[in-house]
Chains A and B, each alone.
Chain A
Amino acid sequence: MSRWLGLCAILLILGAVHAAAVATAQTVVAGNLTSGPYSDASVVAAVPNGAAVTVIERQGGWYHVKTAAGQDGWLPMTAIRYNSTTSGTAAAPGTDWASLFSSGREGSGGSTATTGVRGLNTGDIANAKPDIQAVQSLDKYQAKPEQAKAFAAKVPLKANPKIGWLPEVKP
Chain B
Amino acid sequence: MKRLAAIAAGLLIAGVPFAVAADISLPGIFNSLKQAFTPTSQDDEIAIGRDAAATLLGASKPIADPAVQQYVNKVGLWIALQSDRPDLPWHFAVVDSDDIDAFAAPGGFVFLTRGLLLRLHNEAELAGVLGHEISHVILKHHLKALQKAARMDLVSQAAKVGMASKGYDSDLDQELMDKVSNATRNLYSKGLDKDDELAADRMGVVLAARAGYDPYGLLAVLQTLEAVDPHSSKMQLLMATHPAPADRITALSESMAAANFDRFGKLAEVDGRFNTMMKGLVENAKKAKAPAAVTKK
A interface list, Cβ under 8 A from B: 37-39, 58-62, 77-78, 80-84, 88-95, 97-98, 100-102, 104-107, 109, 116-132, 134-135, 137-143, 145, 147-149, 151-152, 154-161, 163-169, 171
Contact = CB atoms under 8 A, between A and B. Distances in A.
Given A119-B233, A163-B264, A94 B189 contact: no
A60 B214 contact: yes
Interface string B83-126: 00010011111011111010000000100011101111110000
B281 interface: yes
Contacts of A84: 227-229
19 contacts: A80-B223, A84-B228, A90-B225, A93-B121, A98-B115, A101-B282, A105-B285, A105-B286, A120-B59, A125-B189, A128-B185, A130-B177, A131-B58, A140-B66, A143-B70, A148-B75, A148-B81, A152-B78, A163-B264
B119 to A, nearest CB: 5
Given A82-B223, A120-B59, A135-B57, A100 B282 contact: yes
A144 B265 CA distance: 29
- A-B CB proximity, top 10 nearest: A60-B265, A157-B212, A94-B121, A90-B227, A134-B57, A120-B97, A128-B59, A130-B54, A82-B227, A148-B77
A92 B220 CA distance: 9
Interface of B: 50-51, 53-62, 66, 69-70, 73-78, 81-82, 86, 89-93, 95-99, 101, 109, 113-115, 117-122, 168, 177, 181, 184-186, 188-190, 198-199, 202-203, 205-206, 209-214, 216, 219-220, 223-229, 232-234, 236-237, 240-241, 249-251, 253-256, 258-259, 261-262, 264-268, 270-271, 273, 275, 278, 281-283, 285-286, 288-290, 293
B223 A77 contact: yes
Contact of B73 (A100, A143, A169): A143
B66 to A, nearest CB: 7
A58 B266 CA distance: 10
Main secondary structure of the interface of A (DSSP, over half): loop
B203 A101 contact: no
Contact of B278 (A95, A123, A166): A95
Nearest to A100: B282
A134 B54 contact: yes
A143 B80 CA distance: 11
A117 B98 contact: yes
B174 to A, nearest CB: 10
A135 B60 contact: no
Contacts of A61: 216, 219, 253, 256, 261-262, 265
B91 A139 contact: yes
Nearest to B86: A145
Nearest to B234: A88
A122 to B, nearest CB: 4
B255 A169 contact: yes
B289 A105 contact: yes
A58 to B, nearest CB: 6
A141 B286 contact: no
Contact of B227 (A58, A83, A104, A129): A83
Contacts of B121: 92-95
Contacts of B285: 101, 104-105
B78 A151 contact: yes
A163 B256 CA distance: 12
